[in-house]
C-alpha cells in the first residue's frame, strides 16, 4: 500500500506540467481513503522537510520554529510532515543526488516512517508493527556507529504513541480483526519500552524540539546543507506549476507584505471548506497576515478570516475545539471588538452591499464616512460561547482540567460584555445586542451572587467600561438585562429571559415573585411547543422554584411543584443532566448525539439527589398525615404523590430493613417513624441526611423541617390513634410533641373545624374529647351511594353548562349562578388548566387554587 502512494506522490511532483495529471491524481485520491492527506503534503512539502532535516540557514529555521509550535502535539499534522519527507525522498531518487551513508540511513528511516504513516491511515497495525521493528533495528545500528539519535525517530515514536492511544480510545479495536488488534496491543508495549529506553532524548526533544534538532543538525551539518539546497531550488520550480503551491511555505515571509494581504486573504478564503485544505496552514498564514496588516481595514478583514479559520479547525460536531485555539480565538475576537469599538468609522455588519474584496478601502471614500465590512461579531461570540460549553461537556467534570477550563469563563464573559458595550454604543444592530445580552444572562442567571460578583470584577479589570455592569447588585443587573430582553421583539428570547429571571428569583428565595412571574407568563400553556433547550430551561426554573419553596418552608408548594417532574421518573433527562437509559427502545446514534449536545455543563447542574430529598421529604410531610386520616381502601388509592407512595409501599414490603444508607432509605424510615408517631426518630433521620449540606441555609432548613415534623407528627398521631382514646389531655400532647399548648390547640381546632377529626375540646378539663361514630354496614353503603349520586349531579351540571354555555364561554357573567357552580366543581376536582380562557395577563387567581398556589386549608402560615 505505502509504496504505491509513494510513487504517485513522487510522480506528480516531479512532473512539471499538467492539470491532467492533477485530476488523475485527485481521481485516485477519491478512491483511496487515505489519499486526501497527500496533496496537502505537497504544499507543505518543503516546510515539512525543513522540519525534519532542518537547515543551518537562519531564515529557514526560524520558519520551522514557527511551524513547530502548533504542530508539535497535533498528530494529524505530523502525518503531513512525514509524508512530506517521503516526497522529497523520491525527489532525490529522481535527481540522483549523491548521498553519504548517514543520509542513506536517514532516508531509510524516513521511508519506514512514511510506510508507518500510510499504514496508520488504514489502521493496519500489523504493518506498523513490522515497520517499527525495522526502524528500531536501524536506530540500533545508528547508535552502534555512534551517531546521535535523529529527532525524526523521537518524533515518530511520540506520535505513534499518541495514535496508538487514540486508536485504543476510539474503540477502533472492536472493528479490527484479531491479528490487527493483537498487533495494536503489541505496538503499545513496544512503544512504551522504546520510550523508556530513549527517555532522556524524548524529554529533551519534548522540552525544546528546535534545540534538539539544531544539535542534531550541527552534528551532521555538512552533508545535510547540500541536500537542502538542491531541494530548495527545486521547490521554487514546482511552485509555479502547482495550483496549491500559492499558499506554499517557501519564501512566504517575503511575500507577505501589506500590499498582498487581500490577495492572500482571497486565496485562503477560496481554499476554505475544501476537502484538501490544511486548516492549520491556513491559520498560520492568517497569523502572518495579521502581523503585516497595515491599515485598520486590513486588520479587520484578516481578523475576521482568522477567527473563522480557527473555528473551522474542528469540523466535527461532537468534539470540542482545542483549548489553545479557543483562547487564541477569544483574544482575537476581543481585538476585533476593540478595533471596531474604538474606531467609530468602521463597523462589521452582516448584510451590506458587495464591495471589491481585493481593494483597499478607507472610511473617507464612503458616503457617510462609515466603512462597513462584511462579517458578524455576534456569531463569533455565539460560537465562542458554544465551543466553551462544548468543551465543558467533554471534559471530565471531576478533574482539575475542568476547573482550569472553567477559569476561562471570566475571559469569555468579559468578551461578551465587551461585545454588549460595543453594540450598545453602535445602536444599529439591536438584534445582535439582544442576542449578546441573552448570552450574558445565561452566564450569570444560575450562579450565586458571589460568583457573579467575581465575574463582574473580572470585567472591570478587563478595562471594559460597560454601563450595564455598574449596576450594583446582581439582582438589579439581571433585572436590567431581562427588561432589555422583554422589550425586544424576539419572543423566544423573551421567554428565555423570563425563565432566567424566574430562576434567579427562586435562587434568591424570593418565592412569591418568582411564582407570580411564572404564572403570569402563562408559560405552562405554551411550553410544550417550545424548543427543547427552552423546555429544559423551563424545567430548571420550575425545579429551582420547588427548591425555593422548600427552603422557605412552604412544604405544600414545594411538593406540588416538584411533583410533576418526579412523576416522570426522568428527572436527569428533563434537566439535561444525564442521558436517560431507555429500557424498551434504543436511541438512534443521531438522537443520542443530539441529546449529548444538549447536556448542561456540570457546574450548572442542580443536584438531583438534593432535589429528590427535598421532594420526598415534602411528600412525606404531606402524605403521611393524609394516609393516616383515611381509612377506606378506595380513598387510599388516590395518592397525592405517586412516586413517594410507590417507594413507601416498596419499603413496607421489605422483610428486613437495615440501617439507612441512601437518602431514600433515610426518608423511608423517617416516614415509618412518623407513621408510628415517633417524631423524634423521624426528625433525627431526616436531619442526618448528608445531602442537606449542599443547601445554602442548611441549618435553618433543618430547623424548619424539625418544626414541620413535630406538627405533622401530632396530626398523624391524632389520626392514627384517635380511635383508641376517648379523650386526650392537651398538655400531654404538648409535652409529647414538644409544642406549645397553644399550638396544639390551634392544630386540633383546625382539624375539628375542617371535620377531619370528630372531636371537640373541653376547655375546663384541658382535654380533647373524641366522638367515635361506628358506621354500620348499611350506613357505609348509604354513604357510598350518596357520594356517587353527588358525583353524578356534578357531572350532570357540568354537561348542562357545556351545552348551554359552550358558545358564550367564560366572559359571560349573565349566567353567574351556573358559572359559579361550575367553578366550584372544578375547584373541588382540582383540575389543572381548566380555566385557561378566563383572562389573559391575570389568570392568576384561578391558577392559584389549582396549581402551584394550591393551599389546602390545613397549611399553616406562621
Query: Across the strands, what pairs with 356?
Result: none
State yes or no: residue 316 binds another protein (CB under 8 A): no
Least distance in angstroms from the C-beta of 752 to another protein: 5
Would you say 399 or 845 has its CB closer to another protein? 845
Quick one: which of 811, 822, 829, 832 contacts another protein (CB under 8 A)? 811
Query: Can residue 327 be called a binding residue for another protein (CB under 8 A)?
Result: no
Which listed range, 42-50, 534-542, 633-641, 744-752, lies at the site for another protein (CB under 8 A)?
744-752
Binding part of the chain for another protein, among 90-98, 130-138, 578-586, 852-860 by CB under 8 A, reads: 852-860
Out of 188, 226, 580, 860, the residue judged to bind another protein by CB under 8 A = 860
Distance CA 607, CA 584 (A): 27
764 belongs to the binding site for another protein (CB under 8 A): yes
Query: 736 or 746: whose CB is closer to another protein?
Result: 746
Binds another protein by CB under 8 A, chosen from 486, 540, 724, 804: 486
- Compute the half-sphere exposure of residue 106: CA atoms within 13 Å on the CB side of its CA: 26
Name residue 347's beta-bridge partners.
Answer: 372
Q: CA 730, CA 331: separation in Å to the nearest integer?
A: 73
**Integer Cα distance of 17 and 364 in angstroms:** 46
- Residue 752 in the binding site for another protein (CB under 8 A): yes
Could you say whether residue 745 binds another protein (CB under 8 A)? yes
Buried/exposed 839-850: b ≥16 CB within 10 Å, e otherwise: eeeebbebbeeb
The phi and psi torsions of 768 (rounded to 5 degrees) equal -105, 130
CB of 850 to another protein, least distance (A): 12
Q: How many residues in the shown chain lie near another protein by CB under 8 A?
A: 54
Per CB under 8 A, does 790 bind another protein? no
Is residue 851 at the binding interface for another protein, with CB under 8 A as the rule? no
835 touches another protein by CB under 8 A? yes
- Number of C-alpha atoms within 13 angstroms, CB side, residue 512? 0
Candidates 404, 703, 740, 762: give the one binding another protein (CB under 8 A): 762
Distance in angstroms (rounded) separating the CA atoms of residues 650 and 643: 11
d(CA 300, CA 282): 17
Contact between 842 and another protein by CB under 8 A: the answer reads yes
Segment near another protein (CB under 8 A); pick from 534-542, 568-576, 713-721, 818-826:
818-826
Cβ at position 391, least distance to another protein in Å: 36
In the bound state with another protein, the residue whose beta carbon lies nearer, of 529 and 776, is 529
Site for another protein in 383-412 (CB under 8 A): none
Residue 860's φ and ψ, nearest 5 degrees, are -100, 140
Task: Lay out the site mask for another protein across 528-567 (x = CB under 8 A, - = otherwise).
Answer: -x--------------------------------------
Quick one: 148 or 766, whose CB is closer to another protein? 766
Among 765, 785, 789, 791, binds another protein (CB under 8 A): 765
- Rounded to a whole number of angstroms, the CA Rg of the chain reads 37
How would you classify the pairing of strands 346-349 and 371-374? parallel
Supply the angle between the helices 2-14 and 37-52 in degrees, to the nearest 10. 80
In the numeric block, which cell numbers belong to residue 215?
544539535
Which window, 69-77, 211-219, 605-613, 832-840, contacts another protein (CB under 8 A)?
A: 832-840
Beta bridge partners of 372: 347
Nearer to another protein, 500 or 600 (CB): 500
| By the rule CB under 8 A, 825 interacts with another protein | no
Q: Report helix, strand or coil for 29.
A: helix
Q: Which three cell numbers stand for residue 860?
A: 399553616
Is residue 848 within the footprint of another protein (CB under 8 A)?
yes
Q: Is 817 in the site for another protein (CB under 8 A)?
A: yes
Asked if residue 291 lies in contact with residue 252, where contact means CB atoms within 8 angstroms, the answer is no
Least Cβ distance, residue 829 to another protein (angstroms): 16
The C-alpha cell that represents 164 in the structure block: 496508538
Per rule CB under 8 A, is residue 494 in the interface with another protein? yes
Instruction: Verify binding: residue 483, another protein, rule CB under 8 A.
Output: no
Residue of the chain from 820, 829, 830, 831 that contacts another protein (CB under 8 A): 820
**Burial (CB count within 10 angstroms: exposed 0-12, middle 13-18, buried 19+), residue 254:** exposed
Q: 374 has which bridge partners?
A: 349
Q: Which residue number, 97 or 769, has a Cβ lying nearer to another protein?
A: 769
Which of 44, 425, 98, 75 shows the shortest CA–CA distance to 239?
44
Q: Which position among 33, 723, 830, 837 is part of the footprint of another protein (CB under 8 A)?
A: 837
Q: Check residue 824 for interaction with another protein (CB under 8 A).
A: yes
Give whole-number Cα distances, 547 to 523, 553, 576, 747, 852, in Å.
19, 10, 18, 26, 13
Q: Kindly state whether residue 508 participates in binding another protein, applying the rule CB under 8 A.
A: no
CB 680 within 8 A of CB 713: no
**Lookup: cell for 814:** 349573565
Question: Least distance from C-beta 536 to another protein, angstroms?
Answer: 20
Task: Name the minimum Å distance from CB 666 to another protein.
Answer: 32
**Considering the complex, what minimum distance in angstroms separates the CB of residue 65 from another protein?**
59
| Residue 844 touches another protein, criterion: CB under 8 A | yes
User: What is the smallest separation between the CB atom of 638 and another protein, expressed in angstroms?
Assistant: 21
Alpha-carbon span 521 to 839, nearest angstrom: 12
- CA dist 391 and 405 (Å) reads 8
In the complex, minimum distance from the CB of residue 811 to another protein, in angstroms, rounded to a whole number: 6
The binder of another protein chosen from 59, 197, 401, 525 (CB under 8 A): 525
Q: Is 463 left (phi over 0), alpha (psi -120 to 50) or beta?
A: left
- Find the helix or strand (DSSP H, E) in which 800 lies: helix 777-805
Quote the least distance from Cβ 817 to another protein, whole Å.
6
Please report how many Cα atoms fall inside a 13 Å half-sphere around the Cα of residue 349, on the Cβ side: 16
For residues 50 and 228, the answer to whether their CB atoms sit within 8 Å is yes
Residue from 639, 640, 810, 815 binding another protein (CB under 8 A): 810
Distance of CA 616 to the CA centre of its chain: 28
Contacts to another protein by CB under 8 A:
486, 491, 494, 512, 520-522, 525-526, 529, 742, 745-746, 749-750, 752-753, 760-765, 769, 810-811, 813, 816-817, 819-821, 823-824, 835-846, 848-849, 853, 855, 857, 859-861
Amino acid at each position: 500500500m505505502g509504496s504505491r502512494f509513494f510513487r504517485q506522490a513522487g510522480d506528480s511532483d516531479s512532473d512539471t506540467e499538467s492539470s491532467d495529471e492533477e485530476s488523475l491524481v485527485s481521481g485516485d485520491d477519491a478512491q483511496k481513503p487515505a489519499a486526501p492527506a497527500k496533496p496537502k503534503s505537497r504544499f507543505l512539502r518543503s516546510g515539512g522537510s525543513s522540519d525534519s532535516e532542518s537547515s543551518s540557514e537562519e531564515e529557514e529555521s526560524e520558519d520551522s520554529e514557527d511551524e513547530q509550535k502548533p504542530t508539535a502535539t497535533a498528530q494529524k499534522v505530523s502525518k503531513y510532515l512525514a509524508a512530506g519527507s517521503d516526497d522529497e525522498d523520491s525527489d532525490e531518487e529522481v535527481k540522483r543526488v549523491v548521498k553519504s551513508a548517514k543520509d542513506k540511513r536517514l532516508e531509510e528511516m524516513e521511508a519506514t516512517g512514511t510506510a508507518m504513516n500510510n499504514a496508520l491511515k488504514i489502521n493496519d497495525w500489523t504493518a506498523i508493527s513490522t515497520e517499527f521493528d525495522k526502524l528500531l533495528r536501524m536506530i540500533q545500528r545508528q547508535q552502534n556507529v555512534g551517531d546521535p539519535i535523529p529527532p525524526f525517530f523521537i518524533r515518530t515514536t511520540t506520535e505513534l504513541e499518541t495514535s496508538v492511544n487514540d486508536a485504543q480510545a476510539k474503540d477502533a479495536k472492536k472493528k479490527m480483526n484479531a491479528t490487527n488488534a493483537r498487533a495494536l496491543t503489541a505496538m503499545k508495549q513496544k512503544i512504551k519500552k522504546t520510550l523508556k529506553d530513549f527517555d532522556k532524548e524524548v524529554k529533551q526533544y519534548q522540552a525544546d524540539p528546535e534545540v534538539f534538532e539544531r544539535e542534531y543538525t550541527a552534528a551532521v551539518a555538512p552533508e545535510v546543507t547540500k541536500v537542502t539546497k538542491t531541494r530548495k531550488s527545486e521547490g521554487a520550480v514546482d511552485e509555479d506549476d502547482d495550483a496549491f503551491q500559492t499558499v506554499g511555505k517557501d519564501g512566504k515571509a517575503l511575500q507577505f507584505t501589506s500590499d498582498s494581504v487581500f490577495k492572500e486573504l482571497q486565496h485562503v478564503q477560496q481554499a476554505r471548506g475544501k476537502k484538501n485544505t490544511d486548516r492549520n496552514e491556513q491559520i498560520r498564514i492568517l497569523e502572518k497576515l495579521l502581523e503585516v496588516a497595515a491599515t485598520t481595514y486590513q486588520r479587520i478583514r484578516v481578523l475576521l478570516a482568522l477567527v473563522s479559520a480557527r473555528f473551522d479547525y474542528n469540523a466535527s460536531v461532537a468534539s470540542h475545539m482545542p483549548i489553545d485555539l479557543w483562547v487564541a480565538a477569544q483574544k482575537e475576537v476581543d481585538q476585533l471588538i476593540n478595533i471596531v469599538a474604538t474606531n467609530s468609522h468602521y463597523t462589521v455588519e452582516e448584510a451590506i452591499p458587495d464591495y471589491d474584496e481585493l481593494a483597499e478601502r478607507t472610511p473617507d471614500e464612503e458616503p457617510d464616512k462609515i466603512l462597513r465590512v462584511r462579517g458578524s461579531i455576534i456569531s463569533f461570540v455565539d460560537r465562542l460561547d458554544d465551543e466553551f460549553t462544548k468543551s465543558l461537556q467533554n471534559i471530565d467534570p471531576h478533574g482539575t482540567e475542568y476547573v482550569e477550563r472553567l477559569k476561562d469563563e471570566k475571559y469569555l464573559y468579559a468578551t461578551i460584555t465587551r461585545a454588549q458595550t460595543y453594540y450598545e454604543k453602535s445602536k444599529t444592530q439591536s438584534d445582535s445586542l439582544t442576542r449578546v445580552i441573552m448570552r450574558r444572562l445565561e452566564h450569570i442567571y444560575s450562579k450565586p451572587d458571589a460568583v457573579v460578583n467575581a465575574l463582574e470584577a473580572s470585567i472591570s479589570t478587563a478595562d471594559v467600561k460597560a454601563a450595564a455592569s455598574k449596576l450594583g447588585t446582581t439582582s438589579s443587573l439581571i433585572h436590567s438585562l431581562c427588561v432589555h430582553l422583554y422589550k425586544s421583539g424576539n419572543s423566544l428570547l423573551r421567554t428565555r429571559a423570563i425563565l432566567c429571571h424566574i430562576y434567579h428569583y427562586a435562587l434568591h428565595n424570593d418565592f412569591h415573585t418568582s411564582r407570580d412571574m411564572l404564572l403570569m407568563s402563562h408559560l405552562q400553556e405554551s411550553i410544550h411547543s417550545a424548543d427543547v433547550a427552552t423546555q429544559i430551561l423551563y424545567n430548571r426554573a420550575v425545579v429551582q422554584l420547588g427548591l425555593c419553596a422548600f427552603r422557605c418552608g412552604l412544604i405544600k408548594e414545594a411538593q406540588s411543584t416538584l411533583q410533576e417532574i418526579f412523576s416522570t421518573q426522568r428527572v436527569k433527562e428533563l434537566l439535561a443532566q444525564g442521558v436517560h437509559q431507555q429500557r424498551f427502545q434504543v436511541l438512534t446514534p443521531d438522537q443520542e448525539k443530539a441529546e449529548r449536545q444538549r447536556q448542561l455543563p456540570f457546574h450548572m447542574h442542580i443536584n438531583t439527589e438534593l432535589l429528590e430529598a427535598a421532594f420526598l421529604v415534602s411528600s412525606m410531610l404531606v402524605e403521611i398525615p393524609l394516609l393516616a386520616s383515611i381509612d377506606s381502601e378506595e380513598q387510599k388509592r388516590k395518592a397525592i404523590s405517586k412516586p413517594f407512595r410507590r417507594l413507601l409501599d416498596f419499603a413496607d414490603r421489605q422483610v428486613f430493613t437495615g440501617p439507612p444508607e441512601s437518602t431514600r432509605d433515610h426518608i423511608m424510615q423517617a416516614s415509618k417513624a412518623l407513621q408510628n408517631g415517633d417524631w423524634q426518630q423521624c426528625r433525627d433521620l431526616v436531619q442526618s441526611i448528608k445531602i442537606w449540606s449542599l443547601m445554602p441555609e442548611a441549618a435553618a432548613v433543618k430547623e424548619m423541617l424539625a418544626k414541620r415534623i413535630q406538627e405533622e407528627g401530632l396530626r398523624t398521631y391524632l389520626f392514627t390513634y384517635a380511635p383508641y382514646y376517648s379523650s386526650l389531655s392537651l398538655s400531654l400532647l404538648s409535652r409529647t410533641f414538644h409544642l406549645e399548648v397553644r399550638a396544639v390547640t390551634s392544630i386540633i381546632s383546625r382539624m375539628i373545624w375542617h371535620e377531619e377529626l370528630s372531636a371537640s375540646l373541653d376547655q375546663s378539663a384541658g382535654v380533647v374529647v373524641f366522638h367515635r361514630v361506628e358506621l354500620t354496614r348499611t350506613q357505609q353503603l348509604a354513604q357510598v351511594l350518596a357520594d356517587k349520586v353527588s358525583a353524578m349531579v356534578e357531572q350532570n351540571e357540568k354537561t348542562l353548562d357545556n351545552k348551554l354555555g359552550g358558545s358564550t364561554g367564560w366572559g359571560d357573567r349573565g349566567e353567574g349562578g351556573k358559572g359559579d357552580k361550575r367553578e366550584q366543581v372544578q375547584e373541588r376536582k382540582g383540575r389543572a388548566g381548566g380555566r385557561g380562557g378566563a383572562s389573559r395577563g391575570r389568570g392568576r387567581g384561578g391558577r392559584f387554587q389549582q396549581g402551584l398556589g394550591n393551599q389546602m386549608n390545613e397549611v399553616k402560615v406562621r
